[in-house]
Structure 1
């Protein structure tokens, strides 16, 4: 009798969004792990005494929507795929439950640290996303975000277009010491905006450990016990590569093979 994700999460103490806001970790180190839903159930049972789970309006699993932008020659994708440590992404991230959307610039530096800057997008509707959204100088949309983009983005925003979007469900855990956050994403589905390709990732689960500096982490011993190893996984890069055969993928081929293997389990 397999416990559902909801059953297992009901064993956890909860933490509110308000309490979570104290744990910003805006200057943080991230480590990602890729596994399956079957392994995730085991992990969640092992970790239940060390972590609280975020609860919003009685729900412990939150649906997310994201759309990623890139240049006409996919410069952001290419920088990531060719292994540049210093790179950026531009996306709109929506929290489907609250209806809140943010325009976000994610910058990774040579030291492996991720900085995220964001601004709210009150007019964006994730239920009916605009696939032709552009930051054209003549549009009000551009005026609203011009300063934010000028201050944070290294690319010319006026040439960027939406490339790929995703939907997924997320569980957020916080350790009892409040020194780290763990996001667990599953039920991933990608849609390529340019060619209409749709891809669902089945049982794949992406776990991301976000912590300030080098604090000891209770989850690491459980991950080791279950044989879940660190693995880079950019939702943008993997989602784009899986829905467009024309993109170069030399460096991420081994990763795509591992993911295919996990999906086949």
Structure 2
């Protein structure tokens, strides 16, 4: 996306991060993800009343860089791709501000997404990170071979965040996605990824996306990025999404 493509955000009222988290921190939530052509974003956003956009020091989008960790046999990838009830994701995330966090996400038996994070520094001993990950996942009842985790994928993209205050819900809009693994890299910039983060009920943004012909699909930056950059890795449940983004690599 270019700066012109972000003109839609200039028309929305601004909110700060504290206000966003007051209304919709949503560390426990239902995530619904949509692939939308970049050119369609302004029309869709304009059709949703009452939106506001996160503004940090005058910027309405920010760069995210995430490093994902997995076992040598890609346990995290395959558990998610085969829809195992108890699955996890471990990553570090660095923000444009320079802040960096270690994050652990998992799905519970009801399909709800949980996330716990803490500040992280790349120079900290691995044992400290392992202890944190083990404690979080053991408490959630999710098995993980923590000591075998290693960097498996790096993603970078820009993100804008919108708030639906009356619904206590938020949504993110990610664009210019780049995925890099030790065996390859791919640029996925034809589409934006819209992800609503709410409760069990559809938000007004979800409903407008449906009216514009979009349906939630199985989308994971980690899943798609791994499938696109690791030769021979089966695309699992992300095969349709992969075809939409770049064409099936296994066809």
- TM exceeding 0.5: yes
Matches within 5 A, 1:106-255: 106-121=105-120, 123-124=121-122, 140-153=124-137, 154-177=143-166, 179-192=168-181, 194-195=182-183, 197-214=184-201, 217-255=203-241
Deviations 1:15-44 (A, max 9, x none): 101111212212211111111101112212
In the TM superposition, what is the alpha-carbon distance from 1:6 to its structure 2 partner? 2.9
In the TM superposition, what is the alpha-carbon distance from 1:152 to its structure 2 partner? 1.4
RMSD of Structure 2 on Structure 1 (CA): 2.0
In the TM superposition, what is the alpha-carbon distance from 1:148 to its structure 2 partner? 1.4
Which residue does the alignment assign to 2:42? 41
Q: How many residues align?
A: 240
Which residue does the alignment assign to 1:14? 14
In the TM superposition, what is the alpha-carbon distance from 1:178 to its structure 2 partner? 5.1
Structure 1 length-normalised TM: 0.84
* Contact map agreement 1:68 1:163 (CA 8 A) in 2: yes
In 2, Cα distance between equivalents of 1:251 and 1:12: 36
* Contact map agreement 1:104 1:118 (CA 8 A) in 2: yes
In 1, Cα distance between equivalents of 2:71 and 2:130: 17
Point out 4+ residue stretches in structure 1 off by more than 3 angstroms.
Answer: none
Structure 2 length-normalised TM: 0.89
Between Structure 1 and Structure 2, the one with more helix by share is 2
SS at match of 2:43: helix
Specify every segment of 5 or more residues in structure 1 that has no aligned partner in the other structure, as ranges.
125-132, 134-139
* Contact map agreement 1:165 1:190 (CA 8 A) in 2: yes
